[in-house]
Structure 1
Amino acid sequence: MKIQRYKRVRRILNFYKNNFHISHPYKIVADGTFLKAALDNKINLREQMSVYLGNQECQFFVTECVVRELQSLGAPLKGALSIAREYKSLKCKHPRLLTASQCLHNLAKKDKQEKYFFATQDQILTENLHRIPGKPLLFIKYNAILLEKPTEMSEATKNEQSEAKLNFEGVQKENLQNLLKKNDLLNDKTEIKKKRRKIKGPNPLSCKKKKIKFVPPLSESDAKKRKRKRIKNENSIKKAKFDT
């Protein structure tokens, strides 16, 4: 499978997984038109469907109405009937007999838990399924299986769910703020006093002890004080000169 085709399928599957909780094993309900197209295009549904949907396990189903319709159409759909009998048959819960298209449409409207994929070539059934959000559609074209992109209804439902989630989160936040205000927790202005850091002295272990400097004793010659020359004042000098 080409890389672009694989990325497209993975993106669509992620859309249904994230928004409608559809995950593997994928449950695929097929009608007679899809089985006939697979037979005409020589497509092995069990093998190729699994590869196409990301190498995931696939479970195939038909309804009692689909089998009954194929039986009524006779020889032209004998091959499709043979394939249908290999799949698990879902019991129809509607009170009266319906065509295969009506039966699958009815199943899609009531499907809330199983999360079925619907495989069909029937244009009327396809249009009816487009009106129901979260129903992945498979069809055969260009000799290959194709998964239809999400419908406008599915996209709209996704947007509504996202908006509802945002609104719910906003209401929760508002309720929490009201609760905090009620208990005087939101506007609590109590200040926590910070402890003043005391000025610490130097680390005694990192300080070196003061060394005592050894001073040698003075000798007798050094002990005698030098006599200072007596400087006479200016008047004494003048008097001495006058006497001479």
Structure 2
Amino acid sequence: MRVKKQKRHRKIVRFCTACFGFRQPYKVVLDGTFVHHLIANQVTPADKALSTTLAASVKLFTTKCVIDELKRLGESHSEALHAAHELAIARCEHEKKKSADACIMDVIGEKNPEHFFVATQDVDLRKKLQEVPGVPLVYGLRNTLLLEPLSASQRQFVKVSEEGRSHMTELEHKILKKRAKDILETDEMRDSLNEDENVGDQKLEMQTVKKKDNTRKQLGVKDGPQFKRKKAKGPNPLSCKKKTSRENPNMVSGKESKDGDNTMRSRSKKRKRSHKGKALAETSS
């Protein structure tokens, strides 16, 4: 049971820190009934017991009206009065003294801007504070301290506030509309200026081109270099081979056959030498 209680307490504290902006050290306002309960059940020191319940460091407060109420209760609450004097005093801005519950309601206000935890044993006061958004309540049960779960009205307030933050208000809508209009106007002005600059640049380019043309005409300078077209030339005679006369192969073959016959004939005809002179020389010797 103790582990489940601690988990439940941590869940409530995380919800308060996330949705209502509570920060450590947590500030706790104690009324006379709660101080008297702590002393009667010997739950001391109070700051240590409350820091264990909230699982964080705490700072304890009370009000002048609570102290005055403990004084009026007499000697039965003398120890509670002495313990209340040791607590820090929360400012309550009212001239006449009020009851403790009315004073605490004034300190909390409509939305608990100071982010106070309220520790009380008064059931009627707890019911009143359950209607105020962002007010976690602590009460004692014998020698244990419990953190009361947030009421349905407090959770509904958180839900409505989150939905409101997700939507745009009328003022934000007007501001956004005005900014969009200003952006469109600036874009149109930029476009018009760019168009004017482009037109001016084109005019300057045309004027410079005309001036150049006029100066060239006056000076007799042609627009571009005049090149002669190259005509097709014949081949280099030194790099060409000499032409070879092509003869009829039949003629060549005929000549070769005739030459062949002549050679054969010339070879076949041998010169016959006469031996008469040789014989005459031999006889004369």
TM exceeds 0.5?
yes
* Distance in 2 (alpha carbons) for counterparts of 1:156 and 1:110: 16
Q: Percent identity?
A: 29
- Measure the CA separation in 1 of the matches of 2:54 and 2:76: 30
User: What is the correspondence of 1:85-164 to structure 2 with a 5 Å cutoff?
Assistant: 85-109=85-109, 112-164=112-164
Structure 1 distance, partners of 2:86, 2:24, is 21
Equivalenced residue count is 179
SS of 2:50's equivalent in the other structure is helix
With normalisation by structure 1, the TM-score equals: 0.67
Once the two structures are TM-superposed, the CA of residue 83 in structure 1 deviates from its matched residue by 0.9
Task: Note the 1:1-244 alignment, pairs <5 A.
Answer: 2-44=2-44, 45-54=46-55, 56-109=56-109, 112-168=112-168, 179=180
What CA distance in whole angstroms lies between the structure 2 residues aligned with 1:179 and 1:82?
A: 64
Q: Distance in 2 between matches of 1:127 and 1:160?
A: 21
Cα distance in 2 for residues equivalent to 1:11 and 1:124: 25
Give, in whole Å, the separation in 2 of the partners of 1:37 and 1:140: 7
Contact persistence 2:91–2:107 (CA under 8 A): no
Instruction: Decide whether aligned partners of structure 1 residues 112 and 2 sit closer, same or farther in structure 2, where only a CA change above 3 A counts.
Output: closer
**CA offset digits 1:25-84 (Å, max 9, x no partner):** 011110010011111111111211111211x21111110000011011111111111110
DSSP 3-state at the match of 1:135: coil
For structure 1, list consecutive stretches of 5 or more residues without a partner in the other structure. Answer: 186-244
CA separation in 2, counterparts of 1:98 and 1:33?
A: 16
CA RMSD of aligned residues (A): 2.5
Of stretches 42-51 and 12-21 in structure 1, the one that deviates more from structure 2 is: 42-51
Report the alpha carbon displacement of residue 168 of structure 1 after superposing the two structures with TM. 3.0
Using the alignment, how far apart are the partners of 1:37 and 1:110 within structure 2? 27
Structure 2 residue ranges without an equivalent (≥5): 188-285
In structure 1, give the amino acid aligned to 2:132. Answer: I
Q: Which residue of 2 aligns with 1:235?
A: none
SS of the equivalent of 1:168 reads coil
Give secondary structure in 1 for the equivalent of 2:93: coil
Bigger relative contact order (CA 8 A; separation at least 6): 1
